């Protein structure tokens, strides 16, 4: 399912016009992106949480050529599935 | 440094302020969005949100594991887990 599929279901469930369901979905996603971009975390009870991990620069290898390269410092977002969803997806 | 933590409440507040829904409907809308995503994943269907990332469900087969405390070997049953891969757009924004 992609974003428009998600918006269609939200529109049907909430009886909101597609345009408004779309504005709601985009506002949520934009705020989540801005939050992670600042390095902050997100905690959604019952769904999961997102955190940004920071990595310092380290020496890595090009797996194809074996050449040693300096990997620049980077930040990566991680998702940890919430307890409720984790349990339900297994039952 | 203390990092802040975004919650459903913050999302509802923004929906209320930016889009003019009442605080109560804003809260219900936020819940509806995540309920829909949850139900989709429970059907083992993945969700691809282009700007944000992809959520999926992966099947893991049973394997032999060890209780790290007792060293006892035991079988870890087959299970499903939810995965998330951040989109290029999100990764780029985080590293900007």
Domain boundaries defined on chain B? 1-43, 44-96
Order of strands, sheet of B79-86, starting from the edge strand that comes earlier in the sequence: B47-49, B53-60, B79-86
Asked whether the predicted pLDDT for residue B1 surpasses 70, the reply is no
A9-61: pLDDT as tens digits: 999 999 999 999 999 999 999 999 999 999 999 999 989 999 999 999 999 99
Q: Please state which architecture CATH assigns to domain B44-96.
A: Irregular (4.10)
Inspect the interface and report whether the beta carbons of B11 and A81 lie closer than 8 Å: no
> What is the predicted pLDDT for the residue at B3?
66
| Tally of CA atoms within 13 A in the half-sphere of A18 that contains its CB | 5
Chain B, window 26-85: residues with a beta carbon less than 8 angstroms from a chain A beta carbon: 28-30, 32-34, 36-38, 40-42, 44-53, 55, 57, 79-84
Beta-sheet strands, E only, within A13-73: 41-44, 48-55, 58-61, 68-71
> What is the predicted pLDDT for the residue at B15?
97
State the burial class of residue B6 (Cβ atoms within 10 Å of its Cβ: 0-12, 13-18, 19+). Answer: buried
State the burial class of residue A91 (Cβ atoms within 10 Å of its Cβ: 0-12, 13-18, 19+). Answer: exposed
| Cβ-nearest to B33 among A24, A42, A46 | A24
- How far, in Å, CA of A17 to CA of A11, rounded? 6
CB contacts of B34 in chain A (<8 Å) are 44, 46-47
């Amino acid at each position: 399912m992609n974003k428009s599929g998600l918006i269609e279901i939200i529109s049907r469930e909430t009886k909101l016009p597609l345009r408004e369901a779309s504005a709601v979905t985009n506002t949520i996603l934009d705020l989540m992106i801005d939050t992670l971009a600042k390095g902050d975390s997100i905690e959604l009870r019952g769904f999961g949480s997102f955190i940004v991990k920071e990595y310092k620069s380290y020496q890595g290898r090009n797996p194809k050529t074996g050449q040693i390269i300096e990997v620049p410092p980077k930040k990566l977002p991680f998702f940890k599935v919430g307890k409720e969803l984790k349990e339900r997806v297994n039952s | 440094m203390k990092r802040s933590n975004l919650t459903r409440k913050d999302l509802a507040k923004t929906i209320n302020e930016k889009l003019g829904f009442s605080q109560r409907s804003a809260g219900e809308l936020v819940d509806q969005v995540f309920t829909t995503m949850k139900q989709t994943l429970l059907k083992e269907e993945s969700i691809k949100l282009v700007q944000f990332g992809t959520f999926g469900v992966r099947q893991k087969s049973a394997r032999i594991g060890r209780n790290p405390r007792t060293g006892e070997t035991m079988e870890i049953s087959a299970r499903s887990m939810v995965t998330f891969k951040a989109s290029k757009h999100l990764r780029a924004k985080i590293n900007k």
